[in-house]
Structure 1
Amino acid sequence: MPVRRPYLAALLTVAVAGVGLTACTEQKKDAASSDGAVQINASDSACELSKTTFAAGPVNFTVSNKGSKTTEVYVYAAEDKIVTERENIGPGTKATITAEIKAGEYEVACKPGMVGDGIRQKITVTGDAAQAKTDPRLTAAVAAYRTYVQEQADATIPLVRKFADAVKAGDLEAAKAAFAPSRTGWERTEPVAESFGDIDPKTDTREDGLEPGQEWTGWHKLEKSLWADGAITDADKKLADQLVADLTDWQKVVGSAEITATSMANGAKELLDEVATGKVTGEEDRYSHTDLPDFNANVEGALKAYQLLKPVVAEQDAELAKTLDQEFAAIQALLAKYNQGGTWTSYDKVGESERKAFSDAVNALAEPLSKLAAATVVK
Structure 2
Amino acid sequence: MLTALLASTALAACTSNEPAGNAGDQGKLSVTSDAKTCELSAKEAPSGNLVFNVTNKGSQVTEFYLLGEDGLRIVGEVENIAPGLSRDLVLKAAPGKYFTACKPGMVGKGIRSAFTVTDSGNDTELTGDDKALAQTAGSQYGSYVKDQTEQLLTKTQSFVSLYKAGKDDQARALYADARRHWERIEPVAESFGDLDPKMDLREADLEPGQTWTGWHRIEKDLWPPKTGYTALTPAQRATVADQLLTDTRTLSSRTRTTTHTPDKMANGSKELMDEVATGKVTGEEEIWSHTDLWDFQANVDGARVAFEDLRPILKKKDKALDTSIATKFTALQKLLDQHKKGDGFVLYNELTPAQVKELSSGVNALSEPLSKLTAAVTL
TM-score range (shorter-chain normalised) is 0.7 to 0.9
Worse-matched range after superposition: 225-234 or 153-162: 225-234
Q: Equivalent of 2:181, from 160, 168, 185?
A: 185
Matched residue type, 1:344: F
Q: In 2, are the aligned partners of 1:195 and 1:257 still within 8 Å (CA)? A: no
State the Cα distance separating 1:66 from its structure 2 match.
1.2
Q: Equivalent of 1:226, from 222, 226, 238?
A: 222
Q: Deviations over 1:268-323 (max 9, x none)?
A: 00000000110000000000000001100000000000000001111211111111
In the alignment, what sits opposite 1:197?
A: 193
In the alignment, what sits opposite 2:74?
A: 82
SS of the equivalent of 2:182 reads: helix
In the alignment, what sits opposite 1:215?
A: 211
SS of the equivalent of 1:282 reads: coil
Q: In 1, are the aligned partners of 2:27 and 2:48 still within 8 Å (CA)? A: no
- Report the Cα distance in structure 2 between the residues aligned to 1:358 and 1:350, rounded to whole angstroms: 10
Matched residue type, 1:185: H
In the alignment, what sits opposite 2:83?
A: 91
In the alignment, what sits opposite 2:116?
A: 124
Q: Deviations over 1:234-285 (max 9, x none)?
A: 1123211221111011101112334320111011000000001100000000
In the alignment, what sits opposite 2:367?
A: 366
Matched residue type, 2:300: V
Residues 1:37 and 2:38 are matched in the alignment: no
Residues 1:153 and 2:146 are matched in the alignment: no
- Report the Cα distance in structure 2 between the residues aligned to 1:346 and 1:248, rounded to whole angstroms: 30
- Report the Cα distance in structure 2 between the residues aligned to 1:51 and 1:232, rounded to whole angstroms: 50
- Closer, same or farther: CA 50–245 of 1 in aligned 2, 3 Å: same
State the Cα distance separating 1:131 from its structure 2 match.
4.2
SS of the equivalent of 1:217 reads: coil
SS of the equivalent of 1:125 reads: strand
- Report the Cα distance in structure 1 between the residues aligned to 2:124 and 2:362, rounded to whole angstroms: 39
Normalising by the residue count of structure 1, what TM-score does the alignment of the two structures yield?
A: 0.88
Q: Deviations over 1:169-213 (max 9, x none)?
A: 111110100111111111001011011111111110011111332
Percent identity among equivalent residues? 44
The number of residues matched between the two structures is 346
- Report the Cα distance in structure 2 between the residues aligned to 1:75 and 1:34, rounded to whole angstroms: 19
In the alignment, what sits opposite 2:94?
A: 102
Matched residue type, 2:118: T
- Report the Cα distance in structure 1 between the residues aligned to 2:312 and 2:185, rounded to whole angstroms: 21
- Report the Cα distance in structure 1 between the residues aligned to 2:352 and 2:371, rounded to whole angstroms: 28
Q: What are the residue-to-residue correspondences of 1:42-61 with 2, within 5 Å?
A: 42-61=33-52
SS of the equivalent of 1:228 reads: coil
Q: Deviations over 1:128-184 (max 9, x none)?
A: 664443311012101211121111111111111111111111111101001111111
In the alignment, what sits opposite 2:240?
A: 239
Structure 2 residue ranges without an equivalent (≥5): 1-23
Across the aligned residues of Structure 1 and Structure 2, the Cα RMSD in angstroms comes to 1.7
State the Cα distance separating 1:374 from its structure 2 match.
0.8
Worse-matched range after superposition: 39-48 or 277-286: 39-48
Q: In 2, are the aligned partners of 1:226 and 1:232 still within 8 Å (CA)? A: no
State the Cα distance separating 1:34 from its structure 2 match.
7.3
Residues 1:165 and 2:157 are matched in the alignment: no
In the alignment, what sits opposite 2:329?
A: 328
In the alignment, what sits opposite 1:303?
A: 304
In the alignment, what sits opposite 2:55?
A: 64
SS of the equivalent of 1:256 reads: coil
After TM superposition, what 4+ stretches of structure 1 lie above 4 angstroms from structure 2? 33-36, 229-232
Worse-matched range after superposition: 193-202 or 74-83: 74-83
In the alignment, what sits opposite 1:26?
A: none
State the Cα distance separating 1:75 from its structure 2 match.
1.1
